[in-house]
């Protein structure tokens, strides 16, 4: 039995490691697969039009202008007649500030098609729930007067969530978004880049930086209506991740992935020796219905000192992963006292 338990612990750790950057399109980019998990690389003829997958992969590609060295990118065969295929791509290249373009760290680049197509990075929801989409579009070109693109977030193609224009070198070079949307499993969110105000695809490569989190409800200190946290008193803070009809928290959450505190990345999860092998450690978590809705919730214990709360804090943040690799983030109010 102890060897089976050890195997399960190792497998769990490997799972968390495998999905360490889940829902980050830069770190999960693939030049081999399209679709690639939750990501699809493609284009639409118009904003919200019919989506087509890009069919041509180019590994370690050096663009004719030389400004992007060693880019991996997807494009369509229909773009290859346009200035050596410089339009209609989604790709990843090392961060750089050389030449006529800036490639920011941790981004994918999107260039609209030379025939007016929208470059579309498509995310498909793996689970039903409310998600937060946080990031930015940034014009990459320093030539041509700066990149000029129109950028968008679309839910199931037809529903606009965010629209902006990128142009120039400074004031309108970057467009930030922070959008929450409730979706069903299988729904899509498109991150689309078009020609912009100048009606041309030249110098229009635009960088996308993105983080996606599933937002389950949490309850800090379920038995305390005030969620009171004492900074001077050592102790544990119970935090419940609440289940819903679409989200079974005890079954879906990787307990060892959980962090909790004033920021959310504090390594405060409490562990205990495994009952079959004391050399192994298990998260201190239990399963119970804390809100009386008939669904079992996951309740884990966190070290109050390691959580790092300050007297000025008014909420706590929990982060983690699901077994399918979806990142989760939950917040709840707190009352911090000495």
**pLDDT digit string, tens, across residues 287-304:** 999 999 999 999 999 999
- Residue 199, SS3 per DSSP: coil
What separation in angstroms does the CA of 41 have from each of 33, 44, 118, 153, 191? 9, 11, 11, 15, 10
pLDDT band at 67 (very low <50, low <70, confident <90, very high): low
d(Cα 175, Cα 279) in Å, to the nearest integer? 50
C-alpha Rg value of the chain to the nearest Å: 23
The answer, yes or no, to whether residue 305 has pLDDT greater than 50, is: yes
The answer, yes or no, to whether residue 85 has pLDDT greater than 70, is: no
Domain with CATH 2.60.40 in the chain: 218-337
The answer, yes or no, to whether residue 5 has pLDDT greater than 50, is: no
Sequence-distant (6+) residues with CB within 8 A of 29 are 36, 39, 72, 91, 92, 108
The answer, yes or no, to whether residue 162 has pLDDT greater than 50, is: yes
Q: How many CB atoms lie within 10 A of CB 10?
A: 11
pLDDT band at 184 (very low <50, low <70, confident <90, very high): very high
d(Cα 296, Cα 241) in Å, to the nearest integer? 10
Chain centroid to CA 21: how far?
A: 8
d(Cα 202, Cα 87) in Å, to the nearest integer? 8
Q: How many CB atoms lie within 10 A of CB 160?
A: 11
d(Cα 188, Cα 125) in Å, to the nearest integer? 6
Predicted TM-score of the model (pTM): 0.86
d(Cα 69, Cα 214) in Å, to the nearest integer? 35
Q: Token pair of 38, please?
A: 């939750």
Domain with CATH 2.60.120 in the chain: 31-213
The residue-averaged pLDDT of 181-192 equals 97
The label of the residue with tokens 């968008």 reads 152
pLDDT band at 8 (very low <50, low <70, confident <90, very high): very low
Across 60-64, 231-235, 290-294, least confident range: 60-64
Instruction: Please state the φ and ψ torsions of residue 7, each to the nearest 5 degrees.
Output: -60, -45
Is 2.60.40 the CATH number for 218-337?
Answer: yes
Architecture (CATH level 2) of domain 31-213: Sandwich (2.60)
């Amino acid at each position: 039995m102890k060897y089976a338990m050890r195997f399960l612990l190792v497998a769990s750790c490997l799972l968390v490691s495998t999905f360490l950057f889940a829902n980050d399109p830069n770190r999960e980019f693939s030049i081999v697969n399209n679709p690639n998990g939750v990501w699809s690389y493609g284009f639409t003829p118009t904003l919200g039009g019919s989506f087509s997958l890009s069919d041509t992969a180019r590994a370690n590609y050096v663009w004719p202008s030389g400004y992007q060295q060693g880019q991996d990118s997807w494009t369509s065969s229909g773009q290859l007649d346009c200035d050596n295929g410089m339009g209609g791509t989604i790709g990843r290249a090392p961060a750089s500030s050389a030449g006529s373009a800036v490639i920011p760290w941790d981004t994918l680049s999107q260039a609209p098609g030379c025939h007016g197509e929208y470059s579309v990075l498509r995310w498909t929801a793996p689970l039903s729930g409310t998600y937060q989409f946080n990031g930015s579009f940034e014009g990459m070109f320093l030539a041509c007067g700066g990149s000029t693109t129109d950028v968008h977030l679309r839910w199931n193609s037809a529903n606009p969530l965010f629209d902006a224009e990128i142009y120039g070198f400074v004031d309108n070079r970057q467009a930030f978004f922070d959008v929450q949307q409730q979706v069903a499993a299988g729904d899509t969110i498109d991150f689309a880049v078009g020609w912009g105000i100048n009606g041309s695809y030249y110098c229009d490569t635009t960088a996308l930086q993105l983080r996606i989190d599933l937002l389950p409800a949490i309850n800090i200190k379920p038995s305390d209506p005030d969620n009171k946290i004492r900074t001077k008193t050592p102790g544990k803070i119970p935090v419940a991740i609440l289940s819903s009809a679409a989200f079974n928290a005890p079954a879906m959450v990787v307990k060892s992935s959980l962090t909790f505190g004033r920021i959310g990345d504090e390594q405060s999860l409490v562990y205990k020796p495994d009952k079959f092998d004391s050399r192994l450690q298990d998260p201190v978590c239990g399963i119970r219905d804390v809100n009386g809705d008939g669904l079992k919730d996951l309740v884990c214990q966190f070290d109050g000192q390691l959580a790092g709360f300050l007297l000025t804090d008014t909420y706590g943040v929990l982060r983690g992963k699901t077994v399918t690799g979806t990142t989760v983030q939950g917040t709840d109010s707190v009352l911090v006292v000495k």
